[in-house]
Amino acid sequence: MVGPHEILGMARVLGIGTTEFLALYSDNGGVTLRSEEDGRCVFVTPSGCRVHPQRPLVCRLYPLGRSTDERGEERFVVFPAQSECEAEAGRDGTVGSFLESQGVGPYLGWSRRYGELYRRMIGLLDRLDAEGEHDTSEADAPAEAAQAGSGSGGSGQEPDRAPLSPWQDIDASLNEYCAAKGIAIPTEIDDTIALHLRAMEEWLDDMESRLGLAETGSNPSSLT
Amino acid sequence: MGKQDEGKTVTRREVLKLAGTAAAFCTSFGFLHGSQTGGSIRGKSKGISELQLKWRQAEIKWYSGDVLLHSGEFPSKVLKHLQSDEMATVEIKWFRAGKLQQNLGKIAANR
C-alpha cells in the first residue's frame, strides 16, 4: 500500500514523474505497488530494493503493521513471521525505538496529515449521502466520471491500473494547481508534499464552504 | 480544481472525485472506517457459508488471532458485479507462491 507522497519519493529516486510511476509500477487503482508473478515486489532485485532510500512506510515498518481508526488513533501490531523473508526480527526494544531506527518519523507525520484530510472527505461524503446535496443535472456526467476517477485518463492505462483519484498523481495535480495559482512548482520532496496537502485542503475547504460545513469546526487540520 | 458556478452545491463529478480519493486514501494509508454493513449467517450447505449482505461496501480483513492487521476494500468491479447480480458469489482461495493452499468457500451475494 502506497500513498501519493510515497509515490512521489520513489518516482524521484527513479528519475521519473509520478504520472509515469503510476502507469509503470502501481496497481489496484494506484494504491499498491505492482508484483512479479511470484509475488515479489516489482522493486525487489537480487541486489536489494531499487527504491530503498524512499521506500514506503509499510516497508519501513515491517515486521510491524499500522492501522488508523476513524478517530485517527494509531495501532501497531507485529506481523506473523514470513518463511520467505530473510529479514531478522526480534522482540527486544520498544515500538518507539524501532520506528526511530527506521526513520519513519516524517512518513508517519505525512500519513497523519493525509489522514486529517481523509476524515474531512468522509465527513463530506456522509453529509452528501444524508442530504443528497449534489447537482445531478450535468449532462456529461459519464465522461466527467471517467475523468474524475483517473488523473491519467488520457494515458491509455488499463482501468484497474489507472489511479482511483487524480490527487494520487502529485506531479499532475500540482502542475494544474500551480498553473491556476501562478506559482512555481517546488523541487524538494518535502515542499512538494506540503503543497499537495495545501492544494487538497483548499479543495475540501471549497466544498465544505458550499455545503455550509466550513463554520462548524469540522476542519481540525492546521496545514500550512 | 476551481470553484463551481454560483448556485450549485457539489457536482456529480466532485462527488466521484471525492469518493475516489477517499477510497484511495483508505487503502493507501490503512485508515479504517466503520461504515461497512454486514448481515447474519443464514446457514450452511455443503460447506458453503451463505451470508445475507447489503453489498454497499465490502472489505477483506486480515487478522492474527483477534488482532486486525490489515483491511482492504473489494475492487470496485467486483463490488459492482455483486450489487447487480443476485446469483453472484465470491470464492476465497488462499495461495502461497502460486500454489493453492486452501479453498475457504463461497459467499453468495443474496440480498
* A114 vs B14, B29, B67: nearest CB: B29
pLDDT of residue A145: 45
Mean pLDDT of B36-62: 46
pLDDT of residue A176: 96
Q: How many C-beta atoms surround the C-beta of residue A35 within 10 A?
A: 12
- Does the pLDDT value for residue B51 go beyond 60? no
Interface of A with B in 113-132 (CB under 8 A): 114-115, 117-118, 121-122, 124-125, 128
Strands B48-51 and B59-64: unpaired
Q: What global pTM score does this model have?
A: 0.66
What are the start-end ranges of the E strands in A70-224? 74-78, 134-135
CA-nearest of A224, A69, A200, A195 to A124 is: A200
C-alpha cell at B81: 458485479
Q: Three cell numbers at A22?
A: 503510476
Predicted confidence at residue B35, as pLDDT, reads: 40
Residue B93 pLDDT grade (very low, low, confident, very high; cuts 50, 70, 90): confident
Does B14 sit within 8 Å of A28, measured CB to CB? no
Helical H runs in A15-104? 18-25, 57-61, 95-101
pLDDT tens, per residue, chain A with 224 residues: 899 999 999 999 999 999 999 999 998 889 999 988 888 899 999 888 999 999 998 888 888 888 777 676 777 877 777 766 776 767 777 888 888 888 888 888 898 899 899 989 988 988 887 766 555 555 444 444 444 544 444 444 555 668 899 999 999 999 999 999 999 999 999 999 999 999 999 999 999 998 887 654 444 443 33
Burial A161-173 (b: 16+ CB within 10 A, else e): bbbbbbbbbbbbb
Give the Cα separation of B44 and A160 in Å (integer). 34
pLDDT of residue A137: 55
What is the per-residue pLDDT for A155? 44
- Collapsed DSSP state (helix, strand, coil) of residue B69: strand
List all residues 6 or more positions away from A200 whose beta carbon is below 8 Å from its beta carbon: A117, A167
Residues ≥6 apart with Cβ < 8 Å to A154: none
pLDDT of residue A107: 87
Does the CB of A79 have a partner CB in chain B at under 8 Å?
Answer: yes
**C-alpha cell belonging to residue B37:** 454493513
Contact A1 B67 (CB under 8 A): no
Distance from CA of A188 to the nearest CA of B (A): 22
A-interface mutation test, from B25, B61, B99, most A Cβ less than 10 A away: B25
Q: Does B99 touch chain A (CB under 8 A)?
A: no
> Are the Cβ atoms of B68 and A67 closer than 8 angstroms?
yes
